Amino acid sequence: KYKLSTCSVGGGIMIEKTEPEHVDAPAELSFPPTFSVSEIKNKQRRHLMFMKLKQEKRKLKVALKKKKKKERDALGDKAPPKEVPKTIENQRVYDETTVNPEDEEVAFDEGTDEFSAYFNRLTNPKVLITTCDRPRGRTVRFCNQLATVIPDAHVYYRRGLALKKVIPQCIARGFTYLMVINEDRKVPNGMVLCHLPDGPTAHFKVSSVRLRKEMKRRGKDPTEHSPEVILNNFTTRLGHSMGRLFAALFPHDPQFVGRQVATFHNQRDFIFFRFHRYIFKNEKRVGIQELGPRFTLKLRSLQKGTFDSKFGEYEWVLKRHENDVCRRRFNL
């Protein structure tokens, strides 16, 4: 800092350099335990205080983590096992219908259900894909891309026909599946998947649809090779039925030359579909490349037999308010 003063000789102005005054740093603000940051009225001050508290919590967390790591390194083999973080998945409420692969009753049901002909290699899948009346361009492109994922799939326009009239024609022509894509406001929002000729029929809500052109860093278009199928986390009797429903869409023997994989991953009753191609980088490293499309399914109902909206018998129906009582209870 500099100080201006008047010289006694000649009346001139003299500049003197002075030492800066010592200013005490403001003390850390301490709030009572019941204080909340949201009580601060000033928006900028509230944001700064929130970021400061968040940073302090992060520092404490990192310090505690380092301290635990040092203790574990010091104890060596005598260190206690690591704590498993609590998630909704590992805290899931036990379901009585969870499938045991060695259960004789389950094996008998699988040998006599509607999909037994496929798993006994008596039939080959053949899929008809259609839409609702007057579909928009996005829905049509979604159907065409599904036909490139599922081998031996054929896309036909609906032309205003009722599904009850479409199903007998599909059975007469040897189709084993009827897939109907519904839309709302030009966006695909529903799927009806009917196994022929004896059912069952599943109704799904479709969300998060991403077509190939909308995906970043996607690979080239898929080839005509039959893909491998991965069914993940279908554990209950209902989930087991859904897994067999999806598995019967694809041929029995995948063609490994194509290096393509179709994945149905169930997590919290949401079924995520992804389509990848795996690439061998060297003898030990393998990478994957998503081909698309991708979408998410949510099961709404499962009906016995083929599609019948009036007189059909439902095996399972999603009852929203009853099933949302506990967040740790899942159906699939």
The residues spanned by each domain of the chain are 38-78, 102-324
Neighbour tally for 287: CB within 10 Å: 10
Closest CA to 200 of 106, 127, 307: 307
What pLDDT is attached to residue 32?
Answer: 63
Q: What are the backbone dihedrals phi and psi of residue 179, each rounded to the nearest 5 degrees, phi first?
A: -115, 125
* Low-confidence residues in the chain, pLDDT < 70: 1-33, 322-325
Strand 260-267, strand 270-280: pairing: antiparallel
Q: List the end-to-end C-alpha distance of the chain, in Å, as a whole number.
A: 74
Alpha carbon separation from 328 to 93, 241, 286, 298 (Å, rounded): 6, 21, 35, 17
- C-alpha span between 286 and 91 (Å, rounded): 33
pTM for this one?
0.77
Residue with tokens 């529903």: 190
Distance of CA 86 to the CA centre of its chain: 20
pLDDT of residue 217: 82
Q: Count of CB atoms within 10 A of residue 112's CB?
A: 7
Cβ(260)–Cβ(223) below 8 Å: yes
Q: Please report, for residues 98, 117, 128, 174, the alpha-carbon distance to residue 169 in angstroms, rounded to integers and kept in the order given.
A: 37, 20, 11, 9
Give residue 31's pLDDT.
57
Given this model, what pLDDT does residue 11 score?
53
Is 125 exposed, middle or buried (CB count within 10 Å of its CB: 0-12, 13-18, 19+)? buried
Phi, psi (degrees; rounded to nearest 5) at 109:
-65, -40
Residues 6+ apart with CB under 8 A from 138: 183, 186, 187, 188, 209, 211
- Say what the pLDDT of residue 19 is: 54
In the prediction, which pLDDT does 6 show?
52
Rounded Cα gap, residues 176 and 207, in angstroms: 25
pLDDT value at residue 220: 87
The per-residue pLDDT for 188 is 94
CATH match for 102-324 among 3.40.50.10480, 3.40.50.720, 2.10.10.100, 3.20.20.150: 3.40.50.10480
